[in-house]
């Protein structure tokens, strides 16, 4: 493991320099106080204002950064009588400050869009990217994060180019790839070598961070149950009656990849677009004949849990749930993946 250091007061300057070379995405507080990933502008005055909004503390980023590569609504191509023109986005991207669980979600989406038929609209966006994660010293969603149960945090172990760990007035920086090392060399003025005792300090910070996670469930047992033949119909029906099918859980989920495709046409001209969709919506599985194989509410509830904890795992060896807790935090009726897992693993009704 190669360790570097950067003073926290120098991160703003680093981002200002990086924004000249990359489309730089960082967690930023908007006017309403929400933290979302936003692109740093390149114009000097606007950049200085945007840098004041950067938020790298243990705060809740409301929407997963998967939207950088898989936008909620995107144009696929335009068309007229004569031609079809694809709209492919290929900018050089720096994703700075992504949480370890969200990194798992991005890597999950990467594999999904490569599987079977490669998706050029998604894959073109990830061709030239550099990912800088930041470990969670404390959980962003204190009553919902359960990353230690699924081994998805609070620090990343792979898949990143650089990882920052808050060590007081400076960040420890773990180098995770050749691209990460090249980034440090490019901006060497901001980095220095870590001391001999810094690796031990890093281990201590990680140990404390794991202890700070309050929500703990038997994730592995849940995967075994879902793989088996246990009848969970009553669980699904009870949850289905509570669910209001608002879609909040799936729109905030870092690993949901369902989408719809539609044409927006006026005369001879038009645009084909796709937008996020979800298996919990009734119209998602409705067929052209009008028949819906998942017409009952509880069957759509079952689809979500089975997708995350059964089908994804059977196909990829990785669960579709990355234990970020957003589904619980965003749910107005207090239904979340961790509560479902606790219920089926302990036979204790808690929803």
pLDDT band for position 72 (50/70/90)? very high
Cβ atoms < 10 Å from Cβ of 151: 12
Weakest mean pLDDT among 64-68, 99-103, 131-135, 240-244: 240-244
Q: Which residues contact 257 (CB under 8 A, 6 or more apart)?
A: 70, 109, 112, 113
Average pLDDT over every residue of 165-185? 96
Q: Is the distance from CB of 76 to CB of 87 less than 8 angstroms?
A: yes
User: Could you tell me the two tokens for 105?
Assistant: 């979600």
Query: What proportion of the chain, given as a percentage, has pLDDT over 90?
Result: 87
Place of tokens 């965003």: 330
Query: What proportion of the chain, given as a percentage, has pLDDT over 70?
Result: 99
DSSP 110: H
H/E stretch holding 73 reads: strand 73-79
Q: Which CA distances in Å does 284 have to 26, 71, 267, 281, 321?
A: 33, 19, 28, 6, 21
Q: Is the distance from CB of 306 to CB of 226 less than 8 angstroms?
A: yes
pLDDT for res 348: 75
Q: How many residues does the chain have?
A: 351
Q: Is the distance from CB of 184 to CB of 162 less than 8 angstroms?
A: yes
Average pLDDT of the residues of the chain: 94
- Which residues are registered as beta bridge partners of 130? 94
pLDDT for res 349: 75
Residue-wise pLDDT for 189-238, tens only, equals 999 999 889 999 999 999 999 999 999 999 999 999 999 989 999 999 99
Residue-wise pLDDT for 284-310, tens only, equals 989 999 999 999 989 998 999 999 999
pLDDT for res 347: 82
| C-alpha 79: how far from chain center | 32
pLDDT over 70 at 312, yes or no: yes
| Residue 74 exposure: Cα atoms within 13 Å on the Cβ side | 18
User: Could you tell me the two tokens for 31?
Assistant: 């006017």
Q: Is the distance from CB of 253 to CB of 64 less than 8 angstroms?
A: yes
> What's the 3-state SS for 203-261?
HHHHHHHHHCCCCCCCHHHHHHHHHCCCCCHHHHHHHHHHCCCCCHHHHHCCCCCCEEE
pLDDT for res 350: 67
pLDDT over 80 at 153, yes or no: yes
Q: Is the distance from CB of 161 to CB of 131 less than 8 angstroms?
A: yes
pLDDT for res 226: 95
Enumerate the domain spans of the chain.
2-211, 219-346
């Amino acid at each position: 493991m190669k360790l570097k250091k950067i003073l926290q007061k120098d991160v703003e300057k680093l981002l200002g320099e990086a924004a000249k070379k990359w489309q730089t995405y960082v967690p930023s507080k908007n006017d309403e106080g929400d933290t979302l990933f936003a692109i740093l502008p390149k114009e000097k005055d606007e950049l200085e204002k945007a840098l004041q909004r950067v938020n790298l503390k243990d705060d809740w980023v409301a929407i997963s950064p998967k939207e950088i590569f898989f936008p909620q609504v995107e144009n696929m191509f335009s068309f007229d009588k004569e031609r079809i023109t694809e709209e492919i986005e290929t900018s050089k991207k720096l994703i700075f400050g992504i949480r370890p669980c969200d990194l798992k979600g991005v890597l999950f989406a990467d594999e999904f869009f490569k599987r079977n038929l490669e998706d050029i609209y998604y894959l073109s966006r990830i061709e030239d990217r550099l990912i800088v994660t930041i470990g969670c010293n404390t959980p962003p969603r204190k009553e919902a994060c359960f990353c230690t149960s699924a081994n998805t945090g609070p620090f990343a172990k792979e898949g990143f180019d650089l990882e920052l760990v808050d060590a007081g007035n400076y960040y420890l920086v773990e180098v995770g790839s050749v691209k990460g090392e090249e980034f440090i060399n490019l901006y060497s003025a901001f980095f220095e070598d870590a001391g001999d005792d810094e690796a031990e300090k890093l281990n201590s910070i990680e140990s404390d961070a794991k202890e700070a996670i309050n929500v703990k469930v038997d994730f592995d047992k849940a995967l075994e149950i879902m793989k088996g033949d246990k009848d969970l119909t009553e669980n699904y029906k009870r949850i289905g009656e509570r669910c209001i099918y608002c879609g909040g859980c799936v729109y905030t989920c870092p690993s949901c990849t369902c989408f719809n495709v539609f044409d927006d046409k006026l005369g001879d001209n038009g645009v084909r677009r796709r937008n996020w969709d979800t298996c919990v919506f009734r119209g998602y599985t409705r067929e052209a004949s009008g028949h819906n194989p998942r017409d009952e509410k509880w069957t759509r509830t079952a689809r979500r849990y089975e997708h995350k904890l059964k089908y994804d795992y059977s196909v990829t060896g990785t669960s579709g749930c990355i234990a970020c807790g957003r589904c619980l935090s965003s749910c107005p009726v207090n239904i979340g993946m961790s509560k479902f897992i606790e219920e089926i693993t302990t036979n204790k009704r808690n929803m």
